[in-house]
C-alpha cells in the first residue's frame, strides 16, 4: 500500500477490510456511476455546509490536514479556532461507530501536528442537526488507533477473503455486495 493513508480508509477498513479493495477498484471510475443515491445526496449536503460556512473566518472548513508521524492525510469538515472544536459532519447518525471515532482521532492528531490544539471533538448529523460530543481518546483508544493504522498499512487482501459476503447485516447494506461474491 502507499506510504500515506487517507483518513477515510480508517472507517472503511473497520466496516470491512475487503471494502478497501473494492473502493480502490471503484475509484478508477466516475463516482456517480457506482455510489448509491443516498451516498450522493449525503456528499452534496456536505458541499452545501462547506459553502454556507466559508464566510466564517474563525473556522477552518474543508481544510486539508496531514500527520507525518502517523503518515495520514485527509480533510477536516470544520475546526473552530476559538473554541478549538473539531466537527465531522455525517448525513445521518444512527449509531456512533468505531470508524467515526477513529476518523476524528486521526483528524485531531493531524491538526495537532500542524500546530492547532483540539479540546473537543464532535459529530454532527446534517439531517437531524443532532450534535454528539466524543470523548478525547484514552491511552487504550490510542493503542487501538495505532493498531488499526498498522493493519491498514500491512493490508493483504488474501488475509481478509474469509469475510467475503459472510457478515450478513453489513453485506446487506454494503454498496459492493454485487461484486463481493465467492460463488
Ligand atoms: S459485501 Fe460484505 S464482505 Fe463484501 S465488502 Fe461488503 S461488507 Fe465486506
Q: What is the CA(50)–ligand 1 centre distance, in A?
A: 31
Delineate the domains of the chain, giving CATH numbers in brackets: 5-173 (3.90.320.10)
Nearest CA to ligand 1 atom 2: 171
Query: pTM higher than 0.75 for the full model?
Result: yes
User: Which H, E and C letters describe 41-76, residue by residue?
Assistant: HHHHHHHHHHHHHCCCCCEEEEEEEEECCCCEEEEE
C-alpha cell at 145: 488507533
Helix, strand, coil in percent for the chain, rounding step 5: 45, 20, 35
Q: What is the CA(34)–ligand 1 centre distance, in A?
A: 15
pLDDT digits (tens, 9 = 90+) for 145-158: 999 999 999 888 78
- Residues (pLDDT < 70) of the chain are 1-2, 26-57, 163, 165-168, 182-183
Residues lining ligand 1, Cβ inside 6 A: 16, 18-19, 22, 163-165, 167, 170-171, 174, 176-177, 180
Residues composing the chain: 183
pLDDT given at position 179: 79
Nearest CA to ligand 1 atom 8: 16
pLDDT given at position 167: 63
Nearest to 111, CA basis, from 143, 132, 90, 80: 80
User: From the alpha carbon of 171, which atom of ligand 1 is closest?
Assistant: 2
Number of neighbours of residue 52 by Cβ within 10 angstroms: 10
Amino acid at each position: 500500500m502507499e506510504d500515506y493513508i487517507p483518513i477515510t480508509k480508517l472507517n472503511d477498513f473497520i466496516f470491512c477490510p475487503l471494502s478497501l479493495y473494492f473502493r480502490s477498484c471503484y475509484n478508477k471510475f466516475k463516482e456517480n456511476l457506482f455510489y448509491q443515491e443516498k451516498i450522493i445526496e449525503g456528499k452534496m449536503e456536505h458541499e452545501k455546509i462547506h459553502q454556507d460556512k466559508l464566510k466564517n473566518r474563525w473556522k477552518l472548513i474543508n481544510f486539508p490536514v496531514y500527520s507525518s508521524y502517523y503518515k495520514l492525510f485527509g480533510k477536516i469538515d470544520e475546526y473552530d479556532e476559538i473554541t478549538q472544536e473539531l466537527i465531522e459532519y455525517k448525513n445521518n447518525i444512527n449509531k456512533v461507530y468505531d470508524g467515526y471515532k477513529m476518523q476524528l482521532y486521526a483528524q485531531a492528531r493531524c491538526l495537532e501536528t500542524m500546530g492547532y490544539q483540539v479540546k473537543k471533538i464532535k459529530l454532527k448529523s446534517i439531517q437531524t442537526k443532532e450534535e454528539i460530543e466524543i470523548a478525547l481518546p484514552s491511552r487504550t483508544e490510542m493503542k487501538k488507533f495505532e493498531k488499526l493504522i498498522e493493519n491498514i498499512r500491512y493490508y493483504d487482501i488474501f488475509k481478509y477473503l474469509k469475510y467475503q459476503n459472510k457478515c450478513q447485516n453489513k453485506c446487506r447494506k454494503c454498496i459492493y455486495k454485487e461484486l463481493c461474491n465467492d460463488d
